[in-house]
């Protein structure tokens, strides 16, 4: 299990204008760009896009990182739900895994650690697989609205991969302490989501390189 603690980080961040409230694929922003140009963009580590909250839409954060592995290898890691706590930062346990066609359902226990305070919660998730490029994530209680996803863009003729992870959430509706912090400090929502996203893509990269 990988430890998830909120931290300050240095990474390139671009703020996007509001778009649709639902999650949308982000790969088209990068597809077609030369591998050398993408490597120049991501050379200093994770690259982040933030779509800010409006009254009618939730914030979304996209984090990208280059992994020196073929997309197929990363795909197998992303759909290995049995080992998800070792792969995804902030996940402590996964159970009740079921697979049917391109659909996977499971119960996931998550946690966030603030210094000496640990906040944990459980969620029932649905992941729709669209190999070899995309996984779209949903909460089982709201299966018609996606909450994020993973996207794989091959680089260097398939020898490396640009991994994109995006998440959309309403942290202001969360329980104490996350919800309280998000409501009282407007920028904390972006900081928490971006910090989490950076740690997730970095954790996947580290796990991939260890395999």
pLDDT in tens, 167-176: 988 788 877 7
Position 162 pLDDT exceeds 50: yes
**Cβ pair 163, 149 in contact under 8 A:** no
Give the confidence band of 3 by pLDDT, cuts at 50, 70, 90: very low
CA angle, corner 47, sides to 85 and 60, nearest 5?
70
| CB proximity list for 114: less than 8 A, separation 6 or greater | 5, 6, 177
In a domain, 45, yes or no: yes
Asked if residue 113 is part of any domain, the answer here is no
Q: How far apart are the first and last CA of the chain?
A: 16
pLDDT at res. 188: 82
DSSP class of residue 174 equals: S
Interatomic CA distance for residues 75 and 9, integer angstroms = 27
149-172 average pLDDT score: 93
pLDDT of 149 above 60: yes
Looking at the chain, the number of H-run helices and the number of E-run strands are 5, 9
Kindly state whether residue 95 falls inside one of the protein's structural domains: no
State mean pLDDT over 91-99: 97
- Whether the pLDDT of residue 13 is over 60: the answer is no
pLDDT value at residue 8: 39
Residue 101 falls inside a structural domain: no
Q: Please tell me the pTM assigned to this model.
A: 0.87
Rounded average pLDDT over 152-181: 88
Q: Is the pLDDT assigned to residue 78 strictly greater than 90?
A: yes
Q: What pLDDT, on a 0 to 100 scale, did the predictor assign at position 73? A: 97
Segments forming the whole domain that contains residue 166: 12-90+131-210
pLDDT at site 24: 75
The number of folded domains in the chain is 1
In a domain? residue 121 = no
Asked if the model's pLDDT at residue 82 lies above 70, the reply is yes
Q: Average model confidence (pLDDT) for the chain?
A: 85
Mean pLDDT of 44-63: 82
Q: Considering the domain boundaries, does residue 3 fall inside one?
A: no
CB 197 within 8 A of CB 204: no
Let me know if residue 123 belongs to a domain: no
Residue 31: which CATH number?
A: 3.30.530
* Residues 110-148 pLDDT 10s: 987 766 667 888 999 999 999 999 999 999 998 988 999
């Amino acid at each position: 299990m990988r430890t998830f603690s909120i931290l300050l980080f240095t990474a390139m961040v671009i703020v996007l204008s509001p778009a649709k409230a639902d999650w949308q694929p982000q790969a088209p922003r990068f597809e077609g760009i030369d591998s050398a140009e993408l490597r120049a963009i991501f050379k200093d580590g994770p690259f982040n896009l933030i779509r800010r909250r409006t009254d009618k839409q939730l914030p979304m954060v996209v984090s990208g990182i280059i992994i020196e592995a073929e997309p197929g290898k990363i795909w197998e890691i992303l759909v290995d739900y049995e080992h998800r706590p070792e792969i995804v930062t902030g996940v402590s346990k996964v159970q009740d895994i079921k697979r049917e066609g391109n659909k996977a359902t499971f119960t996931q226990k998550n946690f966030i650690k603030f210094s000496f305070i640990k906040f944990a919660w459980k969620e029932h998730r649905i992941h729709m697989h669209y190999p070899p490029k995309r996984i779209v994530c949903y909460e089982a209680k709201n299966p018609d609205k996606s909450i994020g996803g993973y996207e794989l863009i091959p680089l260097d003729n398939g020898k490396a991969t640009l991994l994109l992870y995006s998440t959309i959430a309403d942290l202001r509706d969360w329980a104490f302490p996350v919800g309280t912090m998000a409501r009282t400090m407007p920028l904390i929502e972006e900081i928490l989501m971006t910090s989490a996203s950076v740690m997730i893509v970095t954790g996947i990269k580290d796990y991939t390189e260890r395999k």
